């Protein structure tokens, strides 16, 4: 069976992606779940500024050439319908009826597809059309001297 | 900085406060007057949020439009097939892609414009005005300063992979193969057909790797008919026999080519062939007549093709003029044969002493391009692009054209002003 990707209500909620070079790490021996990462600011010109620990990064707000959909996977146990049951028994017979390699491949595919009871589904939870990208090297804030007028 | 330390003995997680924000702005020597009012504090995904179920799928314009419209998409693929994603009209190859950067997914993150109480400024231009402008702006900001606000923003997930999609041509071969397993050759032969290999429309749609729109095209291409709720194709000799009888009615009834009557045709073959077979074939082979409303005319391309297929048995070759004469004689008066109707069915071979026509059925050739190229050049040494196109177009994608494929898998030469492709080896 094909896996369905549901898209109702996908128009609601434009989520954001923040793209950082490399990986974020936390101090050793600490679980990172829920830990503070950093503060995000924008200057008056709309440029994003991210302060992580004692690092400061200058970024850019950018439209994604190819937007992302956020898919959420779920499994549903469908109630067995009469047709489904008859298909199941038919599939078993089908496997026994195979002759020749090509048929085996096709039959097996069909049988596998129809035997599936647990149905996987995806839902589009959101679409991301913009991102903040921080690709310059982070600077320690101690050396970030403010411009003098 | 001491206030930023997380007390390891405490179970609670550190939460950012406005005072912390003010302190870090000062430490970073940022000019607060140059910042918008809102600060967003980012956090790693929480332990109790299950984000393992989330995937990123890269979209093109068509897919984005389908999602905005609320259309359902489908992932399809059997155990021995690569994954595809189908919209109503298109089919995409799906691959996992990796990225070394971290992609932080943040629901509800506010972009710059939403964090400011006044419009964002344009980039500065000109040094002379900058100083004055800055002074004025600074002065204004001093008088109207708005307090800084803080919002907490959990990251939902950090990604390093996403699904990447590339539009491909639909994969019909499976459809053709499944239908051929149970091809129909008359009610008297149905006992030979494995009933458990008969499939409904929706079963085939589920399993064939293409969109619904493309699937309809595929059924049409294979001339499939629904019989007793199952999709069937005709065994071609049987199909030819029925079509031949249907065509015979044109002269019997003294119809012009565009005066064919549907009910009359179906009635005349009653008792000879099942009604739904005749009706199905009629609907495939005809189009409504332009001149006579309510009447029909046979499509020359389809009629010519099945007649040619009947003449052109596998392995046989005909001298060109002999073949064309035979072909023309079998067609109804007023219809013309043309070599273009042999597309994907046979080729004209000019390399021998006399030009001849020979059978070469596209669907019987190898399914990977290297083997297919080898088979084609074994059949004939030199090909024009037009000759080769019906045999390799199934390997093209929107980004990979026939000429690109030929450049990669064949060598070209020019003889007498005509460009030919020959084997690379």
| DSSP string for A46-83 | S-EEEEETTEEEE-EEEEEEEEEEEEEEEEEEPPPPHH
Note whether B120 contacts A20, CB cutoff 8 Å: no
User: Within 10 Å of residue B167's Cβ, how many Cβ atoms?
Assistant: 16
pLDDT tens track for B333-371: 788 888 788 878 888 877 777 788 878 888 778 888 888
Identify all chain B residues contacting A39, using CB atoms and an 8 Å cutoff.
16, 21, 24, 39-42
pLDDT tens track for B114-170: 887 778 877 645 444 444 444 454 444 443 456 778 888 899 889 988 998 978 878
At B379 the pLDDT is: 83
Phi, psi dihedral angles at B191 (to 5 degrees): -65, -20
Measured between CA atoms, the residue of chain A closest to residue B202 is A1
Residue B360: half-sphere exposure toward Cβ, Cα within 13 Å: 23
Q: Is the pLDDT of residue A12 over 60?
A: no
Three-class SS of residue A111?
A: helix
Q: Is the pLDDT of residue B10 over 60?
A: no
In B140-159, the residues whose Cβ lies within 8 Å of chain A are 153-156, 158
CB-CB contact of B140 with B31 (8 Å): no
Q: Exposed, middle or buried by CB within 10 Å (0-12, 13-18, 19+), for A79?
A: exposed
Tokens of B133: 């402008």
Task: Go through the domains of chain B in sequence order and give each one's CATH number.
Answer: 18-113+148-167 (no CATH), 170-226 (no CATH), 365-424 (1.10.10)
Measured between CA atoms, the residue of chain B closest to residue A32 is B44
Q: Is the pLDDT of residue A23 over 70?
A: yes
Residue A3: half-sphere exposure toward Cβ, Cα within 13 Å: 19
Containing B347, the helix (H) or strand (E) segment is: strand B346-349
User: Within 10 Å of residue B92's Cβ, how many Cβ atoms?
Assistant: 25
Average pLDDT over residues B47-65: 85
CB-CB contact of B64 with A67 (8 Å): yes
pLDDT bracket for residue B56 (50, 70, 90): very high
Tokens of B263: 């009910």
Q: What is the mean pLDDT of chain B?
A: 81
Closest CA to A131 of A72, A25, A48, A36: A48
| Interhelix angle B385-392/B369-379, nearest 10 degrees | 140
Token pair 């898209």 in the structure block, residue: A7
Angular region, B267: left φ>0, alpha ψ -120 to 50, beta rest: alpha
Angular region, B370: left φ>0, alpha ψ -120 to 50, beta rest: alpha
CB-CB contact of B319 with B352 (8 Å): no
pLDDT bracket for residue B65 (50, 70, 90): very high
Tokens of B125: 């231009």
Task: Go through the domains of chain A in sequence order and give each one's CATH number.
Answer: 2-71+126-139 (2.60.40)
Identify all chain B residues contacting A69, using CB atoms and an 8 Å cutoff.
56-57, 59, 63-64, 67
Note whether A68 contacts B74, CB cutoff 8 Å: no
At A91 the pLDDT is: 41
Which residues sit opposite B234 in a β-bridge? B184
Average pLDDT over residues B260-272: 85
Closest CA to B303 of B249, B225, B239: B239
């Amino acid at each position: 069976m094909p896996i369905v990707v549901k898209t109702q209500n996908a128009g609601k909620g434009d989520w954001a992606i923040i793209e950082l070079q490399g990986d974020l790490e936390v101090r050793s021996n600490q679980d990172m779940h829920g830990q503070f990462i950093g503060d995000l600011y924008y200057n008056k010109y709309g440029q994003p500024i991210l302060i992580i620990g004692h690092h400061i990064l200058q970024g850019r707000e950018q439209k994604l050439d190819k937007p992302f959909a956020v898919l959420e996977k779920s499994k549903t146990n469908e109630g067995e319908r009469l047709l489904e049951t008859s298909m199941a028994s038919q599939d078993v017979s089908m496997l026994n009826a195979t002759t020749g390699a090509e048929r085996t491949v096709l039959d097996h595919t069909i049988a596998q597809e129809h035997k599936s009871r647990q149905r996987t589904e995806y839902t589009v939870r959101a679409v991301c059309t913009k991102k903040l990208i921080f690709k310059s090297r982070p600077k320690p804030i101690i050396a970030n001297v403010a411009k003098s007028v | 900085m001491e206030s930023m330390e997380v007390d390891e003995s405490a179970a609670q997680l550190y939460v950012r406060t406005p005072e912390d924000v003010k302190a870090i702005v000062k430490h970073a020597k940022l000019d607060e007057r140059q910042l918008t009012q809102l600060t967003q504090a980012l956090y790693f995904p929480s332990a109790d949020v299950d984000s393992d179920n989330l995937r990123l799928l890269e979209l093109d314009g068509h897919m984005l439009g389908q999602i905005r419209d609320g259309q359902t998409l489908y992932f399809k693929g059997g155990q021995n097939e690569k994954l595809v994603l189908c919209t109503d009209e298109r089919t995409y190859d799906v691959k996992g892609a990796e990225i070394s950067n971290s992609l932080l997914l943040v629901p509800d993150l506010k972009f710059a414009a939403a964090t400011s109480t006044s419009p964002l400024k344009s980039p500065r231009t000109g040094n002379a005005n900058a100083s004055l402008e800055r002074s004025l702006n600074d002065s204004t900001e001093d008088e109207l300063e708005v307090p800084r606000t803080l919002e907490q923003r959990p990251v939902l997930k950090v990604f390093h992979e996403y699904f990447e999609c590339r539009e491909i041509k639909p994969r019909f071969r499976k459809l053709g193969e499944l239908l051929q397993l149970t091809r129909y050759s008359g009610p008297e032969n149905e006992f030979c057909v494995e009933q458990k290999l008969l499939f409904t429309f929706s079963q085939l749609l589920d399993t064939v790797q293409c969109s619904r729109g493309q699937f309809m095209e595929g059924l049409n291409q294979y001339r499939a008919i629904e019989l007793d709720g199952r999709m069937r194709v005709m065994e071609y000799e049987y199909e030819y026999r029925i079509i031949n009888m249907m065509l015979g009615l044109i002269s019997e009834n003294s119809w012009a080519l565009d005066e064919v009557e549907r009910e009359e045709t179906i009635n005349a073959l009653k008792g000879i062939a099942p009604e739904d077979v005749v009706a199905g074939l009629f609907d495939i082979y005809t189009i409504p007549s332009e001149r006579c409303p309510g009447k029909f005319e046979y499509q020359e391309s389809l009629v010519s093709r099945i007649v040619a297929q009947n003449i052109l048995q596998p392995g046989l070759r005909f001298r060109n003029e002999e073949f064309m004469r035979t072909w023309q004689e079998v067609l109804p008066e007023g219809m013309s044969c043309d070599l273009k109707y042999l597309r994907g069915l046979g080729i004209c071979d000019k390399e021998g002493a006399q030009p001849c026509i020979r059978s070469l059925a596209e669907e019987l050739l190898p399914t990977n391009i290297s083997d297919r190229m080898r088979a084609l050049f074994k059949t004939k040494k030199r090909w024009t692009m037009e000759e080769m196109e019906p045999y390799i177009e199934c390997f093209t994608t929107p980004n990979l054209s026939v000429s690109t494929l030929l450049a990669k898998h064949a060598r070209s030469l020019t003889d007498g002003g005509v460009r030919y492709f020959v084997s690379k080896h």
